[in-house]
Amino acid sequence: MSAVTEQQVIEALSKVKEPELGRNLVSLGMIQGIQIDGGKIGFTLVLTTPACPLTDVMDKDAKAAVGALPGVKEVNIKWDSKVPTDARIADRLGGQFKNTVAVSSGKGGVGKTTVSVNLAVALAQAGATVGLLDADIYGPNVPIMLGVDKAPKPREGKLIPAYAHGLRVMSIGFLVPPDQPMIWRGPMIHSAIRQFLNDVDWGNPDYLIIDLPPGTGDAQLTLAQSVPLTGAIIVTTPQEVALADAVKGYATFEKLEVDILGIIENMGPYTDPQTGQTIAFFGAGGGKRMAERLNVPFLGTIPLDPNIREGGDAGKPVVAERPNSPAAQMFKKIAREVAAKISVLNLAE
């Protein structure tokens, strides 16, 4: 029997769909370096994100398709990834970052910074390059939550971000003494946020996570005008009073025509690992109900877990410190889902 040709392998793989994007692996440019050695076939599958949630499905489907060709005895897949750039960002701020995700809420104190930090660390752990911009110029909390306080030094006219837990990090907290109150007038907010986007040497990370101040004011508007946002995440707590504010947060991004990647419910029910008892301190299920009402994706519930608060205060994000805890697992699941949704926005049919 004559050996399989490269053309046959390509044809077989062009019938395999990327499950999330709904397009075939070949048309997405995901197949590279096909090698044929008699009945042994090898190739590299280049994912659209290293934090891909569905590699198992693609592994199975691609092996089945190529394995069904006559004479094929073995199929070996190597994995790689290349995150696509949001075309609107490439046009305006090419080379600074590939995708931007704003983390927002209507209400203060619901866990935006906690979510931003842990999602960023989860994406970096999955192998993505990640920047974290603390856009909360009134109360910058990212330095504490990551345990960094070093002022970045300028190089060739640009600020170098700090580096912590695998992230490139920038915060006004690096530039202003921590106990000094910050009084900002509108134009100053504009220029501060613009500088963080333009004058920091971000080095083109796959994802720039942007931690916003509470509310729906100036910072949100400036941000949306200064950089195309690939998407926004809304954080809420489960109870009704917080939900009402979260709806306002949603409406702001809707007006600004920013895609909502989904809603995260934070401070949800916690199950004590010792006793097995579940406590729903702020109630349960409100985030999911709100997502259904607004017809946006629900990304998941993070439990109200004392380890999250301790990790935040100690500069040790729970995802890095207790990677196997239910809270960390949920952050990682949400991070993969967010990465997949960004790929869909950039590449889906």
Ligand X SMILES: Nc1ncnc2c1ncn2[C@@H]1O[C@H](COP(=O)(O)OP(=O)(O)OP(=O)(O)O)[C@@H](O)[C@H]1O
Q: Which stretch binds ligand X (CB under 6 A): 80-88, 106-114, 250-258, 277-285?
A: 106-114
Pattern 310-339, ligand X, x by CB under 6 A: --x---------------------------
* Binding flag, residue 302, ligand X (CB under 6 A): yes
Cα angle value 33/39/43 (rounded, 5°): 15
* Binding flag, residue 309, ligand X (CB under 6 A): yes
Number of amino acids touching ligand X (CB under 6 A) = 20
Q: How many CB atoms lie within 10 A of CB 348?
A: 12
- Rounded Cα gap, residues 134 and 140, in angstroms: 6
Q: How far is CA 321 from CA 115, 122, 154, 165, 325, in A?
A: 15, 11, 31, 10, 9
* Binding flag, residue 266, Mg ion (CB under 5 A): no
The pair phi, psi for residue 210, each rounded to 5°, is -120, 115
* Binding flag, residue 266, ligand X (CB under 6 A): yes
* Binding flag, residue 139, ligand X (CB under 6 A): yes
* Binding flag, residue 237, ligand X (CB under 6 A): no
Q: Which stretch binds Mg ion (CB under 5 A): 105-113, 257-265, 317-325, 334-342?
A: 105-113
At 58, which amino acid appears? M
- Rounded Cα gap, residues 191 and 193, in angstroms: 6
* Binding flag, residue 112, Mg ion (CB under 5 A): yes
Stretch 136-155 residues interacting with Mg ion (CB under 5 A) = 141
Number of amino acids touching Mg ion (CB under 5 A) = 3
Of positions 110, 132, 167, 263, contacts ligand X by CB under 6 A: 110
Of positions 224, 305, 337, 343, contacts ligand X by CB under 6 A: 305
* Binding flag, residue 219, ligand X (CB under 6 A): no
- Least distance CB 150 / ligand X (angstroms): 21
Question: What DSSP assignment string belongs to 218-281?
Answer: HHHHHHHHHS--SEEEEEE-SSHHHHHHHHHHHHHHHHTT--EEEEEEEEE-EE-TTT--EE-T
Q: Which stretch binds ligand X (CB under 6 A): 30-38, 108-116, 187-195, 332-340?
A: 108-116
DSSP state of 96: T
Nearer to ligand X, 297 or 326 (CB): 326
Bridge pairing between strands 278-279 and 270-271 = antiparallel
